[in-house]
Amino acid sequence: MRMVNEFEAQVLSDLSVLKAQMAALTGDGNGGRLAELERRMDRHEQNWQRAKGFLAAVSVVLAVVEVAFEAWHRR
């Protein structure tokens, strides 16, 4: 059996670390950090859409109140 020199041992060690980091990043089929980031972005988008809808509804209510106030003020 051939002996592994110091350089080869370092390369194999670095590859092992890289493999572990890639597995942590992409996951093992059950998700990983990228999947978690995607889920967080989806939740953020949902919250943003809800906030925009709420602000649109509030602006309609304020417009109706303003029209009613102007109509009441003119009498």
| Residues 16-60: tens digit of each pLDDT | 999 988 877 776 666 677 788 889 999 999 999 999 999 999 999
- Going from the C-alpha of 46 to that of each of 16, 23, 54, the distances in angstroms are 39, 29, 12
Q: What share of the chain is helix, strand, coil (3-state, %, to 5)?
A: 85, 0, 15
Q: For position 3, what pLDDT does the model report?
A: 74
pTM across the whole model: 0.53
